[in-house]
Amino acid sequence: MGDDWTELYRPKGLVEVVGNPKLIKDLQLWALSWEEGRPSHRAVVLMGPPGVGKTSAALALANDFNWGVVEMNASDQRNADAIKKVAGRGSRSETFTDEGEFLSSKEGRLKLIILDEADNIFGREDSGGVPAISDLVANTRQPVILIVNDFYALSRKSSAIKNNTMQLKVGRVQGNTMRGVLRKIALDQGLEVPQRVFETIIENSNGDMRAAVRDLQAVAEGNESIGDDDAFVLESRLSLRNMYDLMRDILHEGDAKRARRTMMDVDETPEHVMMWLDENVSLEYKGEDLHRAYEHLSRSDIFLSRVIRRQYYGFWAYASDHMSYGVTTSKSRTNRGWVQYRFPSYIMKMSRSKATRNMKSQISQKIADHTHTSTRRAAQDVLPFLSTIFKADNDFRLAIITDLNLGIEEVAYLLDKKVDSAEIKRLMQEVENVRRSKEGDPNPVQKVFKESVVEDPKPQMKRSEPRGKQSSLFQYEG
């Protein structure tokens, strides 16, 4: 796979930015006012929670109006100079390239200046970011979009920013809208996704479209089809989203205090976090850094085992600090690329095998009920043989499915196939056909069954028949 779906399916134009129709209108009107040479406001502030389409809307707007884009991460110190340059000279000159170099007016078209994470710059008074941005929004000759999570932080520091900008809210994406987008992506990927998986993803996302797309990719990864068992896995990840955030804070952001704080907020045991780190640390760390990180993880592991041995939960704090503070500070280089974190394969395997175990005991229960024996005996003595014959003999298969009233998941389990594979679907259809024709004809399945398996070959050994024949292998008179 490799592609990051959140990038692959980033809206190209404003029509694809879902969920905030009023916002789209306002942005279009604002852009038109720039096109006409008399901007209603020089700058717009887009504010809203993570992953709802702020950056996407800004980029889509530029695309729709064929504007160039100068994108800057405001919290990156290295950009402060560039911002000053743009604010001081660039934006007032005719135009400039995506790298901030000036062009002659002939080559020029409008350039949208996008300042992402603009609220972060206000944390550092010394950076000169506040006056630079205030100047920018008041005087720019190019359209400017500031993107913030928290407008209050920004407006408090500068009334100029508040007064010279048009503030637009970007709201969380509604479940229905989200479902539409996820369906389209699944269709495009040729994936069949059970309703239940969509619902779980949407519920988990809390209106964060990026999180939803990312989760869909995570369940699709390495699966040629997605079954209900994936919903099971998904559901078991109660704070799935939190874990991705935590991984980013520990492994990527490089802010140890923040990593530690997020670690405390996450509603998971340190053991669980450990599995996530173990799965993902090597995706972000290399060489010496990786070595140091593992050093902390192994220390952490020692504390975790002491928790168990001594039944003293105070050690959790040390374990957690090694995982957050320790791992974060092990990194000497920043990795600027984007990393798709993975759900721990260990947990995945365990929950899959749990689903399998459940299935096994469910079928054994049915056999036990049917043959008046214990589930244990059914599981040990009958199930292995039954499943072997079940795989080999189609008539037997049809009969057993009907007799035991096996559901599609149980059938898939017995055949070692995915629930939504074509073969299983075909088989269930066949069972259904037989069932239907049975309503006309007294009992075709059992007839097949009797002829092929049960019918006594020696007619002279007469059975007393007053209460009817045993109609299948598993049916006994009460």
Ligand X SMILES: Nc1ncnc2c1ncn2[C@@H]1O[C@H](COP(=O)(O)OP(=O)(O)OP(=O)(O)O)[C@@H](O)[C@H]1O
Q: Is 75 in the site for Mg ion (CB under 5 A)?
A: no
| Candidates 53-61, 161-169, 270-278, 425-433; binding stretch for ligand X (CB under 6 A) | 53-61
Cβ proximity of 233 and 219 under 8 Å:
yes
- Closer by beta carbon to ligand X, 50 or else 128: 50
Q: Which residue is at the shortest CB distance from Mg ion?
A: 55
The least distance separating ligand X from the CB of residue 411, rounded to whole angstroms, comes to: 37
Of 151-180, binders to ligand X (CB under 6 A) are 173
The least distance separating Mg ion from the CB of residue 49, rounded to whole angstroms, comes to: 11
| Candidates 3-11, 283-291, 323-331, 333-341; binding stretch for ligand X (CB under 6 A) | 3-11
Q: Is 6 in the site for Mg ion (CB under 5 A)?
A: no
**Which 3-state string (H, E, C) describes 35-91?**
HCCCCCCCEEEEECCCCCCHHHHHHHHHHHCCCEEEEEECCCCCHHHHHHHHHHCHH
Give the CB-side neighbour count of residue 456, counting CA atoms within 13 A.
9
Residue 200 to residue 143: CA distance in whole angstroms:
40
Q: Is 11 in the site for ligand X (CB under 6 A)?
A: yes
Among Mg ion, ligand X, none, partner that 17 touches (CB below 5 to 8 angstroms by kind)? ligand X
Among Mg ion, ligand X, none, partner that 27 touches (CB below 5 to 8 angstroms by kind)? none
- Closer by beta carbon to ligand X, 144 or else 181: 181
Residue 90 to residue 83: CA distance in whole angstroms:
9
Q: Is 75 in the site for ligand X (CB under 6 A)?
A: no
The least distance separating ligand X from the CB of residue 382, rounded to whole angstroms, comes to: 50
Residue of the chain from 47, 56, 157, 245 that contacts ligand X (CB under 6 A) = 56
The least distance separating ligand X from the CB of residue 139, rounded to whole angstroms, comes to: 26
The least distance separating Mg ion from the CB of residue 206, rounded to whole angstroms, comes to: 17
Residue found under tokens 């779980």? 200
The least distance separating ligand X from the CB of residue 50, rounded to whole angstroms, comes to: 3
- Closer by beta carbon to ligand X, 303 or else 341: 341
- Closer by beta carbon to ligand X, 9 or else 198: 9
Query: What number of chain residues touch ligand X (CB under 6 A)?
Result: 22
Q: Is 9 in the site for ligand X (CB under 6 A)?
A: yes
| Candidates 38-46, 49-57, 85-93, 465-473; binding stretch for Mg ion (CB under 5 A) | 49-57
The least distance separating ligand X from the CB of residue 152, rounded to whole angstroms, comes to: 16
Q: Per-residue string for binding with ligand X, 415-444, x by CB under 6 A?
A: ------------------------------
**Which 3-state string (H, E, C) describes the chain?**
CCCCHHHHCCCCCHHHCCCCHHHHHHHHHHHHHHHCCCCCCCEEEEECCCCCCHHHHHHHHHHHCCCEEEEEECCCCCHHHHHHHHHHCHHHCCEECCCCCEECHHHCCCEEEEEECCCHHHHCHHHCHHHHHHHHHHHCCCCEEEEECCHHHHHHHCHHHHHCEEEEECCCCCHHHHHHHHHHHHHHHCCCCCHHHHHHHHHHHCCCHHHHHHHHHHHHCCCCCCCHHHHHHHHHCCCHHHHHHHHHHHHHHCCHHHHHHHHHHCCCCHHHHHHHHHHHHHHHCCHHHHHHHHHHHHHHHHHHHHHHHHCCCCHHHHHHHHHHHHHHHCCCCCCCCCCCCCCCHHHHHHHHHHHHHHHHHHHHHHHHHHHCCCHHHHHHHHHHHHHHHHHHCHHHHHHHHHHCCCCHHHHHHHHCCCCCCHHHHHHHHHHHHHHHHHHHCCCHHHHHHHHHHHCCCCCCCCCCCCCCCCCCCCCCCC
Residue of the chain from 14, 20, 39, 55 that contacts Mg ion (CB under 5 A) = 55
The least distance separating Mg ion from the CB of residue 107, rounded to whole angstroms, comes to: 29
Measured in residues, the chain has a length of: 478
Residue type for position 394: N
Q: Is 407 in the site for ligand X (CB under 6 A)?
A: no
- Closer by beta carbon to ligand X, 59 or else 273: 59
Residue of the chain from 27, 113, 137, 209 that contacts ligand X (CB under 6 A) = 209
The least distance separating ligand X from the CB of residue 66, rounded to whole angstroms, comes to: 20
Among Mg ion, ligand X, none, partner that 400 touches (CB below 5 to 8 angstroms by kind)? none
| Candidates 47-55, 218-226, 299-307, 377-385; binding stretch for ligand X (CB under 6 A) | 47-55
Encoding tokens for residue 57? 């809307």
Q: Is 213 in the site for ligand X (CB under 6 A)?
A: yes
The least distance separating ligand X from the CB of residue 149, rounded to whole angstroms, comes to: 6
| Candidates 20-28, 50-58, 287-295, 436-444; binding stretch for Mg ion (CB under 5 A) | 50-58
Among ligand X, Mg ion, none, partner that 182 touches (CB below 5 to 8 angstroms by kind)? none
Displacement of CA 157 from its chain's centroid (Å):
36
Q: Is 79 in the site for ligand X (CB under 6 A)?
A: no
Residue type for position 302: I
Q: Is 19 in the site for ligand X (CB under 6 A)?
A: yes
Of 236-295, binders to ligand X (CB under 6 A) are none
Under the rule (CB under 6 A), what is the footprint of ligand X? 6-7, 9-11, 16-19, 50-56, 149, 173, 181, 209-210, 213
